[in-house]
Amino acid sequence: MNVFEIVVEPRVRRRRMSEPLSEKKRAAALFRIWHGMREFCDEAERLGDGELVHFLEVARLLVEEKVAAVTSGGAFDGIDTSRPN
């Protein structure tokens, strides 16, 4: 009988000190997060978990507010952000 031993060593990830994101890149990253939150909400609705839907909607609204603050409110002008309750 052969016994194999698998040794997994933690991968050390070194982070470089990077400059903060520009206002435009930060808004774009937050906008991608916002879209992901919408997909999570749709999936939670499909699963029928009302509590999770509520939590995700609140988080999505917080991201919306942050994007509006970063971009002076113009990021969501052409997008339907309304969702039925």
Identify the pLDDT of residue 75. 52
Identify the pLDDT of residue 84. 46
| Helix residue spans in the chain (DSSP H) | 23-47, 50-70
User: How do the pLDDT tens digits run along the chain, 85 residues long?
Assistant: 677 777 777 777 766 767 787 878 888 888 888 889 999 999 999 999 999 999 999 999 998 888 888 776 555 555 555 654 3
| 12 in a structural domain | no
| 5 in a structural domain | no
Identify the pLDDT of residue 81. 57
Predicted TM-score of the model (pTM)? 0.59
C-alpha 56 chain-centroid distance: 10
Are the CB atoms for 60 and 34 separated by under 8 Å? yes
- Print the domain residue range for 45: 23-70
Tally of domains in the chain: 1
